[in-house]
Every structure is written in structure tokens, then in C-alpha cells.
Structure 1
Amino acid sequence: MADKEKKKKKKSVKEEAPAEAPAPAAADKGSSRGSRKAKRSGSNVFSMFSQKQVAEFKEAFQLMDQDKDGIISKNDLRATFDNLGKLASDAELNEMVNEAPGPINFTQLLTLFAARMSGGSDDDEVVIAAFKTFDKDGKIDSEQLRHTLMTWGDKFSADEVDDAYDQMVIDDKGFIDTQKLITMLTASAEEEEEGEAA
């Protein structure tokens, strides 16, 4: 008998649930700001990082904000570099501060990190310099590059390296033409289309 009573209670709770469901929707209707806020949160820079990453960035921000005013200024950057035992010129510090469209508060710093991490802000010079470090007489040893890609930084898996190598021309001795690789990586979409048409 006890089992039948439990089933009846579960059934009555299930029957009540649909009647309760519209109540939150009605509350949302009265507060359209809440629903708009939820829609916007997808573009929120904080949603791009895990809570652990945000905490780490916050800690780094606090270390860099030497005067504790909530903004990283040129003087804050200079002091940070001094604490690290590195010298930075005025031009370098100005360039760093000017990367942001306004004062560098914590949200702005996260936005800069997000842009860097998305890969969209790698200048061609950075790509060229990176691959020139592997260059020997105009060629890159594909096995040395494979080892590097799978060992340091954002490590590639073997499949990811294979996928990348499928896009490259590797000669029968296992070497990649440095200039062709750089051209492939730095060419705009229009240049690539022109190259394919030729």
C-alpha cells in the first residue's frame, strides 16, 4: 500500500508541475530586462574563459596594477617590467598601452587576452619570425617542427600535426619550403584565390 501512495504522490507532483511552469515565464514577461541580459551574456568576454582562468587573470591584473587604481597605466607596466628585471622602452610601453581602445581595466584586459587567444591578432611579422627560427637554408625540418608542435606551448596532437602537414608541401627528404609555408600562412584569402587561379 505504501508503494501505491508514493506513486500517487509522484503522479500528483508531476500533474502540478505544468501548472507551475508558466509562473516563471510570467515573471520573465514582467521583467524583460532580465531576458535581454541573458541573451547578451553570450557575447560577454567573461563567458569566453573558465572561472579558473578568470581568477588567474584577475590575480595577474592585480599584480600589474601597481598603484591599485583599477587601471593598468604605462607606469604600472614599467613597474611590472622592473619587478621582473626586464627593461622596456617608452615606445614599447606606449605600444602596449595603446593596444586597448581606452583605459585598461580588468574587463578591457580580458578582451585583449581573448583577442590574442583567438589567433586573430597575430601579425604577419610574428608568424614569419616564428617560422624563421626553424629555417635552415630556406627549408624547415618537418620532424623537428613536428616535435616542437607536440611538445611546447599549446601542444598539437599527432592528428592535428598530420592535418596541418596535409596542407603543406613536404619534399621527399622531409623538408618544408620556408617561404612557401610563410606565404601560405600570411596570404590573405584574396591572394590565396589568385594563387590557386594562376
Structure 2
Amino acid sequence: MPKKANIFESFSHSAIQQFKEAFGIMDTDKDGLLSSSDLVAAFTAHGKNIGGGEAQAMLDEVDGPMNFTQMVTLFASKMAGGSDDDDVILASFEAFEINGQVDAEAFRHSLMTFGNKFSASEVDDAFAEFKIDGGMIDAAHLKGLMVSK
């Protein structure tokens, strides 16, 4: 990807808005910077436990404090590496997956609340295709529906 004078030109307005939402969710102490404790809390809130060392390793991928611009710059550099769309989709499910299962209500809430919001009807249509047992979606089946592999 050619280097852009303004890193924000690398993404659509919609993508930047989604990044802002994600940053706002991860910045748990609302100081405008992501710290290892912010990341640990954000991952824990989404059912994925990480340690402080793992969180710090993520932050160490940028020079200096991880503010919003640094996060967007990191995303741009990761995407320049030619990430496979399927790999990105699969990685996004890691925040929801716990022991091979995805909490159906938490997933429904996220689909209707964050990013490109789905309507209740759209979510109902999608959920009709999922294998749901005891309020949990089979993660492997869900991933299989979402990617071409």
C-alpha cells in the first residue's frame, strides 16, 4: 500500500467511524490512550482473557503511546501485509468465542449495536442459519458460514 500523507485517507469514512467506536470501547479509563490494563479489561468484557504481558506485546507494536491515530496506523500497516479477508473475519470471532461457543445474546447485541448495525429482522434471518443450543452458538459452524474456506 503506498504511503499516504494522511493515514486516515487509507480507510473509508465508515471504517474510521468503526475504529473510533472500537477505540472508545477499548479505552476503558477514557484517557485517550490504550494501556495494557485497558486491553485486559476490554478483552475480559468480551469473554477473552489475556494477560498484561500479552496486552503489552500488542501495544509494543507501535512507537510511543497507543492513541487513536497510532491504532489506525497499526491497522493500516497490518492490512498492507495482505491479510486474507477470511483470516480477518476468523480473528474477529475470537473476541466472542469461549470454549468453542459464542454467547448468542451477546453476539446478537453486538450485531445490532456496533459498526454497521443490523436490524432485528436481519439478525433473526442470520440466526435461523446458526446452530444454537442452550443460548450458545457453535463457533466452528458459525465461522464456516462466514468464510469461504
Q: TM-score range by the shorter chain?
A: 0.5 to 0.7
Q: How far apart, CA to CA, are the structure 1 residues paired with 2:10 and 2:34?
A: 22
Note if 1:59 corresponds to 2:36: no
Match 1:77 to one of 39, 47, 51: 39
Per-residue deviation, 1:121? 8.4
2:9 is aligned to 47
**1:131-182 deviation digits (Å, cap 9, x = unpaired):** xxxxxxxxxxxxxxxxxxxx72xx69xxxxxxxxxxxxxxxxxxxxxxxxxx
SS of 2:70's equivalent?
Answer: helix
Q: How far apart, CA to CA, are the structure 2 residues paired with 1:87 and 1:42?
A: 35
Moved over 2 A (4+): none
Number of aligned residue pairs: 88
2:71 is aligned to 109
Per-residue deviation, 1:97? 1.2
Q: How far apart, CA to CA, are the structure 1 residues paired with 2:44 and 2:5?
A: 36
Indicate the larger mover: 83-92 or 56-65. Answer: 83-92
2:134 is aligned to none
Look at both structures and tell me which one has the larger radius of gyration over its CA atoms.
1
2:143 is aligned to none
Aligned-pair identity in percent equals: 46
1:98–1:121 CA distance, 2 compared to 1 (3 A): farther
1:15 is aligned to none
Q: Which runs of 5+ in 1 are unaligned?
A: 1-40, 127-150, 157-198
Quote the RMSD (CA, aligned, Å).
Answer: 2.8
Q: Which runs of 5+ in 2 are unaligned?
A: 88-145
TM-score normalised according to structure 1 size: 0.40
Q: How far apart, CA to CA, are the structure 2 residues paired with 1:66 and 1:116?
A: 24
Higher RCO structure, 1 or 2 (CA under 8 Å, sep 6+): 2
TM-score normalised according to structure 2 size: 0.53
For residue 104 of structure 1, what is the amino acid of its counterpart?
A: M
Match 2:50 to one of 81, 85, 88: 88
8 Å Cα contact 1:115/1:121 also seen in 2: no
SS of 2:39's equivalent?
Answer: helix
